Amino acid sequence: MKKQFETRKIALAVALCLGAPLASAQSSPIKIGVVTPLSGTYTPIGEQVKMGLDLAAKEINAAGGINGRKVNLIYEDEEANPAVATQKAEKLFQVEKVDFLTGTVNSGSTLAVGQVAERNNRLMATSVSFADSITGDKCSPNVFRVNARAGMQSAALAAWVEKEIPKANIFFIGPDYEMGRSTVSAFKRASTEKGGKAVGEVFAPLDNKDYSPYFGQVRSAKPNVIYTSVAGNDTVRLFSQMGEYGLNKGVTIVGASGTVTSQNIGAIGKSANGFVTGVGYSPKLDIPANKKFVADFQKAYNKLPDLYGADSYGLLYFYKAAVEKAKSTETDKVRTAMDDLSWQTPQGTKKMRAGDHQAMQDMFAVRVENGEFNIVGRVPSDQAIGPDVCTRF
Amino acid sequence: MHNPQVKAIRIIELLLLSSALVLFVVGSILEDTFFLRLATEALIFGGLAMSVDLLLGIVGLLSLGQAFYFGFGAYLSALVLKEISPSFFLAIGIVTLSSIVLGWIASFIALRSKGVYFALITFGLAQVAAKIVYNTRSLGASDGMMGVPILQIWTPFGSIDTSHPGAFFLITLLTIGVLYAVLKYFLTTPMGSIWHAIRCNEDRLAYVGYKSKGPKQVAFILAAVVAAVSGALYPMLRGFVSPELMFFSVSGNAVVTVVLGGVGTLIGPILGSVLLTLFKSIIGTWTVHHHIIIGIVFVVIVVSAPKGLAGLFAKYLGKKHPNKGGE
Amino acid sequence: MLESLQFIYAPQIVNGLSIGVAVVLMALGLTIIFGLLDVINMSHGEFYAAGAFISVSLMTMGISFWFCLLLVPLLLIPIGFAMERLLIQKVFHYKDRHILTLLLTFGVAMVLEDAYKIIWGANPIKPSAPISGASELLGVMFPNYRLFLMGFGALLIFSVWILIYKTQFGAIVRASAYDKDMSSSLGIPVMRVYALTFAFGVALAGLAGVLLAPIYSVFPTMGRDFILMAFSVVIVGGLGSIKGALIAGILLTQLQSISSLYISPVWSDPLVFTVMVLVLMFKPTGLYGGMKNA
């Protein structure tokens, strides 16, 4: 009967032990919380995030850690649900007393966890979410983003389309949720500014299984470019169905950076050939740092890294650089150190813009051929970044 | 106290109440935040589970869409707090009144059917509502709404800050406690007996001169209010709302909670919610495969102990004092 | 006018038919289980997924797609039988068995979905279609595999109908549904018939999984793809009615297909739900009542 009572006592005691300061502060590890989807639809992304972070942590610890302290990653599954993410984030901040948090994938979770970080006076960063709002109108002094946002991806893609297919007729197919719609509108803006013409759009529900009812509309609009922001399984279905119906003949298919990644490229197969996207990373980037990174990644996991893995890897080095510059893990000092910080990543040098906490990097137009992501265009970081619309700080 | 079930319920009530108070005292002394907030969340979802139990265990109607009212209460509360005024009583008041109206309207659609069909209609209603919210820009669409302010709640003992985990835990305990008391009160009225009768044999009710439609509607609306008020507490705790609060997984979890705790007892859902929240939090840290573990536990409970933990406890009490049954 | 009929409506209708056949295959098993056993099988979608996953593994081992069509349902029958015998029948004698079986199958669905992720991984897999290429139909191109699907699906549905209504086995199944005690006293092993019927229903779902894998790809959460639509079809068509499942399936998918020309695709699911709710409100037994009325 007393079971209930005891469980609470034990839980509290455990919490105390975990939170108790260790004997020697000198060698105490730096704890970084990772709230990422490890179950549910977004699991493949969470897995890449984990692989990238783990690899970086291993390398950093082997080289002596950060300021002589080892890095300790603590993972929690957020199930891609902001309600679960906030609970787990709070657990990591309060019980595990992590110094820093990352890992959120969808923008809802990033925003919600960002709020938790503010209320706990700690910093967090995302290496996946690309909704512009996170470093735009919903920016936060405690939230940083190391990956490219939607606006940057569109800039790179639009530049390529303008060059290769001037005055294109573009049809838009997107999943009907915040991310799907905003990526479409970002690219629509960028491409119409450069002379393209929007000839139609269709927003299908997330997890839509059959796109064939919409092909009639697409055909009658006679586009020569189709832009899509679907992702994961939806991409597999859309692309293979487009292939089945011959919709991809004579049409260049372009899309968001999350549309074709190493997780679904196997399933899409031939139908992905010729797909072009604007993205911040490709495993084929011809930079020595990337070649080493890809080789290490493959050796450790027997898989190729994708943008999520690479950006997560780079995120840990970002934190390392900031903490070493600040000589402390205190929130305010690290935040100051992060402003306008430049650091090395597999994509070259990135710089964290102080005004909105958005990382600046060169962007690439990448084309998929036979399962490989070949680089076919490049836009330098200052042209790709876009304006700073964050007014909160 | 002859009935082992009644006794079991009493004991569980006392147990939960006393552990809650202990948690508050110890947590406040230790300045804990996480566990108090986790317990608050358990209570909030326990409230939702209570609303499921009212319909399922008392009246005999399985609702697979209580998350609709829960999410409605949460969003409305967030809107009131953000746009009108950060007042606890205003938010709760508006949510209570609106959910009465909403429940009343919904009852005309849902109560046309019973049994399996009722389950499917409530399921469909919640799905459609969730979809609408998910695609509505002004409600934050798929990202939800952030920035719900911290409230100052006026009480005779002074002003309470919702960001204070211990204090808000007590407020939530009080609110859910009031909801529980209201439901228990209804059970003692003639309406409560009619509810039990509906569950046992609705068709025969007419033969003894009672209409079932009115009482069913009252129960339905009451359940909507309980779910909505519980939901209204959520943004006060976490500072945001998102469409996931209306998804089927929330309704489904509530049903799992009710079955786990003990269907028809009203306290069972609270117990179930506390245990499940704790369980998920602990298991979720050890392994990624928590869904399969919870799923297996759930299947085992449904097959071997359909009356849930409260039922098992009542059985245990009944065995211990077999002679007292006849008093 | 005629042109719009040919290039806009006709393709939508034919498309709707190919989706419709898929949905009807899913709904068939569900309505048989629902109508006969009075069991809401929330795990039906997971058996659809099971069929797809098993076929993927078999094909990796070199077994041809056509052989999988035969093998996979046969493999699922004992699994379905076991689940009915060991789990569902345990809760059957309770008064609130409807709810308990619903909860039970809901729990099984949770377990299966996670199991798929553990065994096959989280990334999508797509087997290639056994028939490639496209043919021109009414001026528009249609993939040959989909045309095959429609034909084969129609054949399947017809066979199920014959099995249930024109064979002795079907008569036994219907009798057990209509009057359990009478059938039992006539010497029919009712419990075994129940288990076999459940197995048959989920085997049908698994077969649908094999057939649709090349079009819709295979991944752990795929069980949720069809379940909502399938339940709507079963309700609108009438519990236990095969004719109802067929007609409701075609009607609802046509509704979805044609409506997507006028309303945003996001609202087509709510539209189907609204139809389901309206039917439930005004004619709760659906278009064609139950198997007991067949």
Q: Which residues of B touch C122 (CB under 8 A)?
A: none
Nearest to B19 among A8, A76, A179 (CB): A8
Q: Could you give the CA distance from residue C242 to residue B185 in angstroms, rounded to a whole number? A: 48
Has residue B137 been placed in a domain? yes
Q: Is A91 on the interface with B (CB under 8 A)?
A: yes
Q: Could you give the CA distance from residue C100 to residue B295 in angstroms, rounded to a whole number? A: 14
- Take residue C58 and report the two structure tokens written for it: 């078999």
Whether A112 sits inside 8 A of B33 (CB atoms) is no
Region class of C235: left (phi > 0), else alpha (psi between -120 and 50), else beta = alpha
> Per-residue confidence at A9, pLDDT binned at 50, 70, 90?
low
Q: Is A99 on the interface with B (CB under 8 A)?
A: no
Determine contact, residues A171/A152, Cβ cutoff 8 Å: no
CA distance A126 to chain C (A): 22
Q: Is C146 on the interface with A (CB under 8 A)?
A: yes
Question: Residue B129: closest CA among chain C residues belongs to which residue?
Answer: C270
Question: Domain range for residue B312?
Answer: 4-320
Q: Which residues of A touch C256 (CB under 8 A)?
A: 213
Across C50-62, average pLDDT: 93
Has residue B61 been placed in a domain? yes
Q: Could you give the CA distance from residue A101 to residue A108 in angstroms, rounded to a whole number? A: 16
Q: Which residues of A touch C222 (CB under 8 A)?
A: 233
**A199: three-class secondary structure by DSSP:** strand
Return the amino acid letter for C96: D
Q: Which of A6, A39, A130, A138 to mutate to test the interface with B (most CBs of B within 10 A)?
A: A39
Cα–Cα distances (Å) from A90 to A22, A76, A129, B35, in that order, read 21, 11, 20, 10
Nearest to A284 by CA among A265, A267, A270: A265
Whether C215 sits inside 8 A of A244 (CB atoms) is yes
Q: Which residues of A touch B27 (CB under 8 A)?
A: 12
Has residue B87 been placed in a domain? yes
Q: Could you give the CA distance from residue B78 to residue B144 in angstroms, rounded to a whole number? A: 10
Identify the sign of the CA torsion A236, A238, A239, A244.
Answer: positive
Q: What is the pLDDT of residue A14?
A: 52
How does pLDDT run across C92-101, given as a tens digit for each residue?
Answer: 777 777 777 8
- Is residue A6 pLDDT above 80, yes or no? no
Across A271-283, average pLDDT: 91
Q: Is C176 on the interface with A (CB under 8 A)?
A: no
**B295: three-class secondary structure by DSSP:** helix
Q: Quick one: angle between helices B267-286 and B4-30, nearest 10?
A: 50
Nearest to A82 among B26, B240, B278 (CB): B240
Has residue B325 been placed in a domain? no
CATH number at residue B245: 1.10.3470
Q: Which residues of C touch B296 (CB under 8 A)?
A: 107, 111
Whether A83 sits inside 8 A of B244 (CB atoms) is yes
Rg (CA), chain B: 20
φ, ψ (nearest 5 deg) of residue A276: -120, 140
Number of domains in chain B: 1
CB atoms within 10 A of CB B178: 11
Has residue B147 been placed in a domain? yes
**Number of cross-chain residue pairs from A and B with Cβ atoms under 8 Å apart:** 103
Cα–Cα distances (Å) from A99 to A68, A281, A312, B90, in that order, read 16, 28, 17, 38
Q: What is the pLDDT of residue A20?
A: 46
Has residue B41 been placed in a domain? yes
Q: Is B109 on the interface with C (CB under 8 A)?
A: yes
Q: What is the ipTM of this complex?
A: 0.84
Q: Which residue has the higher pLDDT, B138 or A86?
A: A86
Q: Could you give the CA distance from residue B309 to residue B291 in angstroms, rounded to a whole number? A: 20
How does pLDDT run across A88-143, given as a tens digit for each residue?
Answer: 999 999 989 999 999 999 888 999 999 999 999 999 999 999 888 899 989 999 99
Across C243-268, average pLDDT: 87
Q: Is B303 on the interface with C (CB under 8 A)?
A: yes
Q: Which residues of B touch C235 (CB under 8 A)?
A: 117, 120
Q: Which residues of A touch B135 (CB under 8 A)?
A: 176-177
How does pLDDT run across C143-165, given as a tens digit for each residue?
Answer: 889 889 889 999 999 999 898 88
Question: Residue B310: closest CA among chain A residues belongs to which residue?
Answer: A1
**B145: three-class secondary structure by DSSP:** strand
Q: Is B154 on the interface with C (CB under 8 A)?
A: no
Q: Could you give the CA distance from residue C158 to residue A172 in angstroms, rounded to a whole number? A: 40
- Take residue C78 and report the two structure tokens written for it: 């004992």
CA distance C170 to chain A (A): 34
CB atoms within 10 A of CB B160: 18
Q: Could you give the CA distance from residue A37 to residue C251 in angstroms, rounded to a whole number? A: 38
Q: Could you give the CA distance from residue A291 to residue A114 in angstroms, rounded to a whole number? A: 33
The rounded mean pLDDT for chain C is 85
Region class of B190: left (phi > 0), else alpha (psi between -120 and 50), else beta = alpha
Question: Residue A16: closest CA among chain B residues belongs to which residue?
Answer: B30
Q: What is the pLDDT of residue A135?
A: 92
Q: What is the pLDDT of residue B326?
A: 47
Whether A212 sits inside 8 A of C19 (CB atoms) is yes
Whether A237 sits inside 8 A of C216 (CB atoms) is yes
Across C40-49, average pLDDT: 91
SS3 per-residue string spanning chain C: CHHHHHHHHHHHHHHHHHHHHHHHHHHHHHHHHHHHHCCCCCCHHHHHHHHHHHHHHHHHCCCCHHHHHHHHHHHHHHHHHHHHHHHHHHHCCCCCHHHHHHHHHHHHHHHHHHHHHHHHCCCCECCCCCCCCEEEECCEEEEHHHHHHHHHHHHHHHHHHHHHHHCHHHHHHHHHHHCHHHHHHCCCCHHHHHHHHHHHHHHHHHHHHHHHHHHHCECHHHHHHHHHHHHHHHHHHCCCCHHHHHHHHHHHHHHHHHHCCCCCHHHHHHHHHHHHHHHHHHCCCCCCCCHHHC
Has residue B326 been placed in a domain? no
Has residue B36 been placed in a domain? yes
Cα–Cα distances (Å) from C294 to B66, B137, C164, C238, in that order, read 35, 48, 10, 11
- Is residue A5 pLDDT above 60, yes or no? no
Whether B115 sits inside 8 A of C98 (CB atoms) is yes
The rounded mean pLDDT for chain A is 88
Q: What is the pLDDT of residue A97?
A: 92
Determine contact, residues C127/C213, Cβ cutoff 8 Å: yes
Whether C111 sits inside 8 A of B60 (CB atoms) is no
Q: Is B295 on the interface with C (CB under 8 A)?
A: yes
Run of H or E residues at B108:
helix B88-110
- Touching subunits of A (3+ CB pairs, under 8 Å) are B, C
Q: Is A83 on the interface with B (CB under 8 A)?
A: yes
**B109: three-class secondary structure by DSSP:** helix
Nearest to C281 by CA among B33, B236, B107, A267: B107
pLDDT tens string for chain B (327 positions)? 468 888 888 889 999 999 999 999 998 888 888 889 999 999 999 999 999 999 988 888 889 899 999 999 999 999 999 999 888 999 999 999 999 999 999 998 888 777 777 887 888 888 888 888 888 888 887 788 888 888 888 887 778 888 888 889 999 999 999 999 999 999 999 989 889 888 888 888 888 888 888 889 999 999 999 999 999 999 999 999 999 999 888 998 898 899 889 888 899 999 999 998 888 888 777 777 777 888 888 888 888 887 888 888 888 888 876 655 444
DSSP A284: T
CA distance C65 to chain A (A): 17
Q: Could you give the CA distance from residue C285 to residue C152 in angstroms, rounded to a whole number? A: 29
Return the amino acid letter for B307: K
Q: What percentage of chain C has pLDDT greater than the value 70? A: 95
Across A50-72, average pLDDT: 94
Question: Residue B256: closest CA among chain C residues belongs to which residue?
Answer: C103
Across C36-44, average pLDDT: 85
- Touching subunits of C (3+ CB pairs, under 8 Å) are A, B
Whether B143 sits inside 8 A of A108 (CB atoms) is yes
Run of H or E residues at B69:
helix B67-79
How does pLDDT run across A199-246, given as a tens digit for each residue?
Answer: 999 998 888 888 988 888 898 899 999 999 998 889 999 999 998 888
Q: Is C283 on the interface with B (CB under 8 A)?
A: no
Q: Is C192 on the interface with B (CB under 8 A)?
A: no
Question: Residue C225: closest CA among chain A residues belongs to which residue?
Answer: A209
Cα–Cα distances (Å) from A133 to A227, A231, B31, in that order, read 21, 20, 35
